[in-house]
Amino acid sequence: MERFLTAGQLARVAEVPAGARPYYRALADAVRDRILDGRLPVRVRMPAERHLAEALGVSRTTVTTAYDRLRGQGYLESRQGAGSWTALPDPSVCDGNPWVDDADDRLIPLHAAAPAACTQLEQAFADAAAGYHRFTLGMGYHPLGLPVLREAVAARYTARGLATRPDQIIVTTGAQHALHLLLTLLAAPGDPVLIESPTYSHAIDVLRLRGAHRVPVGIPADGRYVDLVVSAVRQSGARLAYLIPDFQNPTGHLMDAGDRARLAEAARRHGVTLLVDETWAELPLDEGTTVPPTGVFDSGNHVVTIGSASKLWWGGLRIGWIRGSAELVRRLAVQRAAVDIASAIFEQLAVARLFEVIEATRAERRRNLRASLAALVAVLREELPEWSFRVPTGGGSLWVRLDTPSATPLAEAAAAHGVRLAPGPWFGVDGALEGHLRLPFTLAPEVLTDAVRRIAAARGSQGARPRRSLTPAL
């Protein structure tokens, strides 16, 4: 039996704030809030527009515009001639998806942990501009990557203590592309794949896209979870694991050398391939903080490493890489014939040049990240002392434990105060983690200070009412 709302019922339930302008927006937002807090169930038929207009004493156009807004945001579904029903948005198609619409507003982008370009980029681009000409006589397709960059990446691994030949490297169009290539090759739909919980949100996206069975291993407060990984492997039969031992995203944990050795040994014993994401590995906050790369402990192609130019240099470069066996690298290059052919030449030349001045960039990043982290920690302790966190030794984000499981409604309130947040559920597989927020320290100190004050104001405006969680796609 169909459920429906009369115009009078909706007018009462919606609680449109008196005097709100523009009215259509206040009406739409009120309906959205009632759907989110559960007072309006989903799949309930909405009143006809003209009836609601009469009940509210507004023009029919106002109601039509409000319905359009709700439809665009995914809170309303309509069928031609049949009416409209309340709904929860499919995050992939609704307006206001932070992934697609982040350029359309002026919110402080605290939902992402990605720094602006390093100052060394300008010279690297100038060098690339001086050097790309000789490639323009060819077709421009290099599925494995340009030799000059493969050599630079291999040399950097070798310098970090992990002896590497250029034929073990394939250049990719960023770390996400690297992970997507690897999972396309190595994971079939339904395969169990072990991940940390919380973990990098777009890793969850690609596992979902691939149809893999996600096996989360919770990271305890002390960051020691190798034993949990081993038992999860035993119980799930997973032959693949995606892990971030270096300044884990989002928790910031750095796995120590002993745990890395035990992890690699367990991978060998159980025939597991570890996909190790080193996106943040070059960014300890203190020059002295070094742990050998996980690959050092590998005794036979059980560790495949993913690297990225995004956090160290700039995300707009879209350059990453994979280190694996020469055979794996060739298989990935062949697979690219079906996926994207190759990566852009100019950026590869720029990144090869950036490797030559990597220590200058690392020093700059350390300086900036330390200052931003200090500002973030200070303003959090001042404005939100009931929140807790562990200060990491590297990476780009703070994993904050809230005093209530309210990250998603807080993120919505913060958006109204000018800040876009990444609530905990983005980093988990089952909509849990409502008690956490990831706060990046990749923006300037004064921006972070301003942002946290806005978050505190948003929290104050919320009241204590817990609301139903809406888990977005990313």
Nearest-approach distance from CB 471 to a copy of itself, in angstroms:
14
Report d(CA 173, CA 48) in Å as an integer.
49
Closest by Cα among 289, 294, 292 to 305? 294
Of the candidate spans 148-156, 267-275, 340-348, 454-462, the one that interacts with a copy of itself by CB under 8 A turns out to be: 340-348
Count, residues in the chain:
474
Is position 451 an interface residue for a copy of itself (rule: CB under 8 A)? no
Nearest-approach distance from CB 347 to a copy of itself, in angstroms:
5
**Judged by CB under 8 A, which of 132, 224, 228, 435 binds a copy of itself?**
132
Is position 74 an interface residue for a copy of itself (rule: CB under 8 A)? no
Report d(CA 416, CA 108) in Å as an integer.
11
Report d(CA 27, CA 56) in Å as an integer.
10
CA atoms within 13 A on the CB side of 346: 9
Is position 360 an interface residue for a copy of itself (rule: CB under 8 A)? no
Q: Of 56 and 187, which CB lies nearer to a copy of itself in the complex structure?
A: 187
**Cβ-count burial of 114 within 10 angstroms (0-12 exposed, 13-18 middle, 19+ buried)?**
middle
Nearest-approach distance from CB 228 to a copy of itself, in angstroms:
26
Of the candidate spans 275-283, 308-316, 368-376, 429-437, the one that interacts with a copy of itself by CB under 8 A turns out to be: 308-316
Q: Of 210 and 459, which CB lies nearer to a copy of itself in the complex structure?
A: 210
Nearest-approach distance from CB 6 to a copy of itself, in angstroms:
32
Is position 120 an interface residue for a copy of itself (rule: CB under 8 A)? no
Question: Rounded to whole angstroms, what are the CA distances from 413 to 419, 420, 454, 457?
Answer: 9, 9, 10, 9
Of the candidate spans 29-37, 98-106, 282-290, 355-363, the one that interacts with a copy of itself by CB under 8 A turns out to be: 98-106
- Cβ-count burial 429-462 (b if 16+ within 10 Å, e if not): beebbbbbbbbbbbbebebbbbbbbbbbbbbeeb
**Judged by CB under 8 A, which of 96, 135, 366, 405 binds a copy of itself?**
135
Helix (H, G, I), strand (E, B) or coil at 380: helix
**Judged by CB under 8 A, which of 65, 86, 97, 168 binds a copy of itself?**
97
Q: Which residues are paired to 436 by β-bridges?
A: 401
Q: Of 122 and 356, which CB lies nearer to a copy of itself in the complex structure?
A: 122
Supply angle C-alpha 211, 307, 201, rounded to 5: 40
* Paired tokens of 86: 């309340």
Of the candidate spans 87-95, 413-421, 449-457, 463-471, the one that interacts with a copy of itself by CB under 8 A turns out to be: 87-95
Nearest-approach distance from CB 223 to a copy of itself, in angstroms:
27
**Judged by CB under 8 A, which of 48, 114, 374, 447 binds a copy of itself?**
114
Nearest-approach distance from CB 4 to a copy of itself, in angstroms:
27
**Cβ-count burial of 181 within 10 angstroms (0-12 exposed, 13-18 middle, 19+ buried)?**
buried
* Paired tokens of 212: 């893999």
Report which residue type is found at 332: L
**Cβ-count burial of 474 within 10 angstroms (0-12 exposed, 13-18 middle, 19+ buried)?**
middle
Number of H helices, E strands in the chain: 16, 14
Q: ω into residue 250 within 30 of 0, thus cis?
A: yes
Is position 344 an interface residue for a copy of itself (rule: CB under 8 A)? yes
Report which residue type is found at 252: G
Of the candidate spans 10-18, 25-33, 174-182, 376-384, the one that interacts with a copy of itself by CB under 8 A turns out to be: 174-182
Of the candidate spans 19-27, 127-135, 158-166, 242-250, the one that interacts with a copy of itself by CB under 8 A turns out to be: 127-135
Q: Of 172 and 469, which CB lies nearer to a copy of itself in the complex structure?
A: 172
Nearest-approach distance from CB 365 to a copy of itself, in angstroms:
14
Nearest-approach distance from CB 108 to a copy of itself, in angstroms:
12
* Angle between helical axes of 345-356 and 121-131 (0-180°, round to 10): 130
* Paired tokens of 55: 């009940």
* Angle between helical axes of 147-159 and 345-356 (0-180°, round to 10): 30
**Judged by CB under 8 A, which of 133, 222, 463, 464 binds a copy of itself?**
133
Residues 27-46 close enough to bind a copy of itself by CB under 8 A: none
Helices (H), 116-174: 121-131, 147-159
Is position 357 an interface residue for a copy of itself (rule: CB under 8 A)? no
Is position 330 an interface residue for a copy of itself (rule: CB under 8 A)? yes
Taking residue 231's Cβ as centre, other Cβ atoms within 10 Å add up to: 11
Nearest-approach distance from CB 206 to a copy of itself, in angstroms:
4
Name the helix (H) or strand (E) containing 131: helix 121-131
Supply angle C-alpha 327, 328, 331, rounded to 5: 90
**Judged by CB under 8 A, which of 109, 295, 392, 423 binds a copy of itself?**
109
Is position 126 an interface residue for a copy of itself (rule: CB under 8 A)? yes
Of the candidate spans 227-235, 312-320, 411-419, 455-463, the one that interacts with a copy of itself by CB under 8 A turns out to be: 312-320
Q: Which residue ranges make up the site for a copy of itself (CB under 8 A)?
A: 91-93, 97, 99-100, 102-103, 109, 112, 114-117, 121-122, 125-126, 129, 132-133, 135-144, 147, 173-174, 176-177, 180, 184, 189, 202, 205-206, 208-209, 310, 314-318, 327, 330-331, 333-335, 337-347, 473-474
